[in-house]
Amino acid sequence: MPRAAPPWRILAVLALGVLGVHAVLLQTQPAHIGPQTAPVSPRVAAFETRSIAVPPMTTPPETAAPPAAPTPRAAPTRKKPVFKKKVAPVQAARAQPAIESIAEAVPENRTDEAPAAAPDSSSDLDSAPATPAGDPETPAVSEAEPPANPAASTVVAATAPASAAAAPPPGASQTPVTAMALPASVQLDYKMTGSAKGLTYHANGELAWQNTGSVYNASMTVKALFIGSRTLSSTGQVSDQGLAPSRFTDKSRTEVAAHFEPDKGQISFSANTPTLPWTQGAQDRVSVFMQLGGMLAGNPAAFPVGSQISLRTVGPRDADTWMFLVEAEERLSLPFGELATLKLSRKPRHEYDQKLEIWYAPALGYLPVRNKITQANGDFVDQELKTLTRP
């Protein structure tokens, strides 16, 4: 039989009883119910460190070795600086190219002349560069170069002995003139061929000779197309001893000169070069051509093949005794035509001397119909007579 449900009053009492028990438990024991959490510390624990000192290692006195004394090092020897004596580098370090008609490339240390200032390259006819410019068929006739070391030249000039011009240079010799036959006025035109640094070029040369019987004027000119010209000139007196120059000039874009002053017994220069003693019969680098021809024409028998002729020859800054050997009789085929000639040559005496060769034609009154200059390095210039014009 179905059971009767308990009266609701009983259930309500029981429910109230259970709630009351729970309320008492929650109020009296709240901290003991559930898991207990660890309290959070408001302060962070400090990180502590400590160092462990290692006791120093000690060596027993009987085993401790004294420190070795340092070996003294030898003091380095200081070398004394070596100072090279300054010299003008352009004088003997190079051989000059052949471009002009006559001169000496580098003045050497000679014993037959007084000391002089170191000459620069512009003092010589051949000092102009011979390298063709643009056209390999034309030579480079340029302005004379300034001294490589002007200060050195000044020092040498200032310290030259004052007695340099007081006495004639030792060893200077002069071939006496026994007879003289100078040609009448004439102009010689040359075909000029040269070689410089392996290149061949062509130009025009000219020798203008004027002889009035008492005075003379001679000039040698080299002309190159697009480059310009260079002229060496000589003026002076004519006597029974031949030519007596009074002034010699070397001119391209600038001019340098030598003055013959027999009344003062000296030869002076315009290039701040010390004076040199004047000697009877001294020539310059233009008049020497005509003086040699006049001596040969005046007395041909006095100069057979193998003989020598010595002439004191002056340049724009120096002087030297040029010795010519009468070398041989030759027949030349020139642009002018075939001619019987007598060849004279000046052999090199020093390392950088030029070799100078001159051919004189007896049929033309011993005029120089060909001249050739060969440098120490093989460069050369060769002038051959093309035309001859008489006024």
* Residues shown for the chain: 391
- Pairing state of beta strands 215-224 and 199-211? antiparallel
Residue 2 has a pLDDT of 57
Kindly list the distances between the CA atom of residue 174 and the CA atoms of 66, 163, 199, in Å, as whole numbers in the listed order: 91, 22, 39
Structure tokens at 316: 């724009």
Beta bridge partners of 201: 194
Residue 55 has a pLDDT of 62
Residue 151 has a pLDDT of 34
Residue 142 has a pLDDT of 35
Residue 281 has a pLDDT of 94
Is the backbone of residue 34 left (phi > 0), alpha (psi -120 to 50) or beta?
Answer: left
pLDDT tens per residue, the chain (391 residues)? 555 666 778 888 888 888 887 777 777 655 555 555 555 555 555 556 566 666 666 555 555 555 555 555 655 556 555 555 554 544 444 444 444 444 444 444 444 444 333 334 333 444 333 333 334 333 333 333 433 333 333 222 333 333 333 344 444 578 999 999 999 999 999 999 988 888 888 899 999 999 999 999 999 998 877 667 889 999 999 999 999 999 999 998 899 999 999 999 999 999 888 999 999 999 999 999 999 999 999 999 999 999 999 999 999 999 999 999 999 999 999 999 999 999 999 988 777 788 999 999 999 999 999 999 999 898 999 999 999 999 8
Q: In the chain, where do the E strands start and end? A: 186-196, 199-211, 215-224, 228-239, 242-251, 255-261, 266-269, 276-277, 283-284, 308-314, 319-334, 337-346, 355-361, 367-374, 380-389
Is the backbone of residue 366 left (phi > 0), alpha (psi -120 to 50) or beta?
Answer: left
d(CA 34, CA 301): 158
- Pairing state of beta strands 276-277 and 266-269? antiparallel
d(CA 316, CA 107): 12
**Residue 238 CB: number of other CB atoms within 10 A?**
18
Residue 65 has a pLDDT of 53
Closest by Cα among 312, 291, 285 to 168: 312
Structure tokens at 165: 């011009």
Residue 105 has a pLDDT of 42
Residue 13 has a pLDDT of 84
**Residue 365 CB: number of other CB atoms within 10 A?**
16
d(CA 144, CA 372): 21
Closest by Cα among 364, 290, 354 to 320: 354
d(CA 373, CA 366): 19
pTM of the model: 0.61
Maximum alpha-carbon separation in the chain: 195
Q: What share of the chain is helix, strand, coil (3-state, %, to 5)?
A: 15, 35, 50
Residue 69 has a pLDDT of 59
Q: Where are the domains of the chain?
A: 121-145+173-389
